[in-house]
């Protein structure tokens, strides 16, 4: 009996022990499950955070590539395009969906059609990142290619990208530099073309200088030998100076500086003290040159006016002094009274190409380009001292840009003007000036009371002012190509043609009275005709100024 009780107690103890073990195991399993779930939740949180950051970085990179003005490409080691930003679409003309997966050689001109692989891309990256002219890209040999096969100059940089999965890619940044390269070519050509002009400027006795703004002062970036000769300074020394070094801080410096700061054209007179009690008078002409980028520049042209100053003094005392000076002067001198040329020197003959006899029979405005006559003689006669630039037409029909200083004087007991004339053609683009002059004076020409018309040797009208068109009641779009003979009565055609045919290189100007037909009415006009001839003496254009004088013709 006791044995049975003992065995039951032992069995109960074992049962309780197993129950305890089972309970402990169940509790451990719950804890383990909770720990596993916590770990999984933590891992999910970390993963989501990392993914969010990756998405942010990816979005930032994508947005940055979209904002680039340069093309951004991603290619693999086989040269296949993997990424293509919007700037690349604009630059090359391909859509992203069209170019992805295509070969890189669709976008560039490579020599000898190379096989594009890792070795080629490594060499390509070395070249585009090199600053060594012996290794780097020659713009002529390496070009970008658009979808339509047009080419353009490019500037390229490249970088290798190795991802965590060991895949290799190449990032290529492309910039279109066609405008820059073409600008450099143009500048180089202009420099080559202007070598002769620079030699002429250096040989000239006229001083020539270019200034560049530098803070509150102005540096001398170029000066010719002519200025060195005029001032007695060495050219090398002048090129190390600025404007204040050259002129000091006197009134000359401040007056010139004021013109430079206002960026306007201007003229100033001053003098240098060279040696002991030796003063040289100068006149400087200032022209601003505005640039799209970089500092502004100014062109200064210096004339030695010492002799001219003396000449004005001498002319005020006697005509004999004028004649003596005029023969020795390096400038062209002309005296006129608005109706005729009264006196001139040999330099004026060289400038205009006319002989003494021809000048005796010429009106002052005959020396001027037709578009300048209205401004200088008809609209408002010159008064007092006058400095101006205008266009001369020589006997050979050549147009020259001249600068004129003009003063009122007494000559032969008559009020007259003396004009001191300098040929500044070598510093001007005459064709540009002529176009500018046409635009500048179009309004003046159109509002004059005189009829102005230009026509060619076939009598086709090439230019007319508003007064001419109003007189004959014809519109601008209908006048060019219109035959001038249409306004001349048929019975007068032969006479009019003979009159024009008498214009020759030696007799460019003719004056005559002609009948014209306006609707059903015959009118009388006083015409001044000038012929323009080419180098071979062929008549290429007739410029005519006419005025209605019907009221002066007796019935």
- As a whole number of angstroms, the distance between CA 90 and CA 96 comes to 10
pTM: 0.31
230 pLDDT more than 80: no
Band (pLDDT 50/70/90 cuts) for residue 345 is confident
Q: What is the token pair recorded at 233? A: 């300074």
- As a whole number of angstroms, the distance between CA 533 and CA 431 comes to 17
Q: What is the token pair recorded at 345? A: 């020197």
Q: What is the token pair recorded at 342? A: 């009264």
Higher model confidence: residue 37 or residue 118?
A: 118
Mean pLDDT value of segment 243-259: 76
pLDDT for 275 equals 43
Band (pLDDT 50/70/90 cuts) for residue 427 is low
pLDDT for 277 equals 45
Please give the C-alpha separations between residue 479 and each of 169, 461, 470, 519, in angstroms, as whole numbers: 68, 7, 11, 16
* pLDDT tens column, 479-523: 766 888 989 999 999 999 999 999 998 888 999 999 999 888 899
* pLDDT tens column, 288-322: 876 655 557 888 888 777 766 665 555 455 455 45
Please give the C-alpha separations between residue 235 and each of 226, 260, 283, in angstroms, as whole numbers: 9, 22, 20
65 pLDDT more than 90: no
User: Comparing C-alpha atoms, which of 398, 425, 434 is closest to residue 534?
Assistant: 398
What DSSP string describes 113-152?
----SHHHHHHHHHHHT---TTTS--TTT-EEE-TTS-EE
Around Cβ 308, how many Cβ atoms within 10 Å?
20
End-to-end Cα distance, the chain: 179
pLDDT for 536 equals 80
Q: What percent of the chain has pLDDT over 70?
A: 67
**Strand ranges of the sheet holding 151-162, from the earlier edge strand across to the other edge:** 81-84, 71-76, 168-176, 151-162, 143-145, 108-109
* pLDDT tens column, 2-21: 554 555 666 666 667 666 66
pLDDT for 32 equals 58
Higher model confidence: residue 10 or residue 88?
A: 88
Alpha helices in 204-279 (DSSP H): 225-231, 235-238, 243-247, 251-262
Band (pLDDT 50/70/90 cuts) for residue 338 is confident
């Amino acid at each position: 009996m006791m044995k049975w009780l003992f065995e039951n107690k032992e069995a109960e103890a074992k049962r309780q022990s197993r129950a305890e073990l089972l309970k402990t195991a169940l509790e451990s399993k719950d804890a383990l499950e909770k720990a596993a779930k916590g770990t999984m939740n933590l891992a999910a949180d970390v993963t989501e955070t990392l993914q969010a950051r990756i998405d942010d970085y990816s979005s930032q990179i994508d947005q940055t590539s979209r904002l680039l003005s340069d093309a951004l490409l991603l290619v693999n080691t086989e040269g296949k395009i993997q990424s293509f930003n919007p700037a690349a679409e604009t630059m090359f003309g391909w859509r992203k969906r069209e170019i992805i997966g295509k070969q890189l050689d669709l976008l560039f001109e490579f020599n000898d059609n190379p096989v594009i692989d890792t070795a080629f891309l490594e060499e390509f990256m070395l070249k585009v990142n090199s600053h060594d002219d012996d290794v780097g890209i020659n713009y002529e040999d390496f070009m970008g290619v658009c979808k339509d096969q047009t080419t353009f100059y490019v500037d390229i940089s490249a970088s290798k990208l190795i991802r965590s999965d060991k895949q290799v890619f190449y990032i290529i940044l492309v910039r279109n530099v066609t405008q820059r390269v073409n600008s450099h070519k143009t500048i180089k050509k202009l420099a080559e073309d202007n070598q002769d002009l620079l030699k002429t400027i250096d040989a000239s006795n006229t001083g020539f200088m270019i200034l560049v703004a530098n803070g509150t002062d102005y540096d001398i970036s170029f000066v010719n030998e002519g200025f060195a000769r005029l001032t007695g300074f060495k050219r090398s020394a002048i090129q190390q100076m600025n404007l204040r070094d050259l002129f000091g801080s006197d009134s000359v410096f401040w007056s010139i500086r004021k013109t430079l700061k206002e960026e306007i054209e201007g003229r100033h007179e001053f003098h240098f003290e060279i040696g002991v009690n030796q003063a040289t008078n100068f006149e400087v002409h200032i022209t601003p040159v505005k640039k799209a980028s970089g500092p502004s520049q100014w062109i200064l042209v210096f004339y030695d006016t010492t002799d001219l100053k003396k000449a004005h003094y001498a002319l005020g005392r006697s005509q004999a002094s004028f004649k003596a000076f005029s023969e020795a002067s390096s400038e062209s001198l002309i005296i006129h009274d608005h109706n005729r040329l009264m006196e001139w020197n040999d330099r004026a003959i060289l400038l205009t190409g006319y002989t003494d006899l021809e000048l005796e029979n010429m009106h002052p405005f005959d020396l001027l380009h037709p578009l300048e006559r209205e401004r200088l003689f008809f609209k408002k006669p010159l008064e007092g001292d006058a400095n101006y630039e205008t266009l001369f037409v020589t006997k050979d029909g050549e147009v020259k840009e001249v600068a004129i200083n003009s003063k009122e004087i007494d000559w032969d007991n008559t009020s007259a003007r003396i004009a001191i004339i300098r040929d500044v053609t070598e510093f001007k683009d005459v064709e540009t000036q002529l176009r500018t002059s046409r635009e500048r004076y179009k309004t003046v020409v159109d509002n004059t009371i005189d009829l102005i018309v230009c026509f060619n040797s076939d009598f086709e009208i090439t230019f007319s002012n508003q007064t001419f068109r109003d007189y004959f009641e014809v519109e601008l779009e209908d006048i060019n190509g219109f035959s001038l003979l249409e306004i001349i009565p048929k019975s007068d055609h032969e006479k009019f043609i003979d009159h024009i045919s008498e214009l020759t290189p030696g007799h460019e100007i003719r004056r005559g009275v002609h009948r014209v037909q306006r609707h059903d009415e015959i009118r009388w006009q006083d015409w001044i005709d000038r012929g323009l001839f080419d180098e071979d003496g062929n008549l290429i254009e007739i410029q005519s100024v006419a005025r209605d004088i019907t009221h002066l013709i007796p019935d």
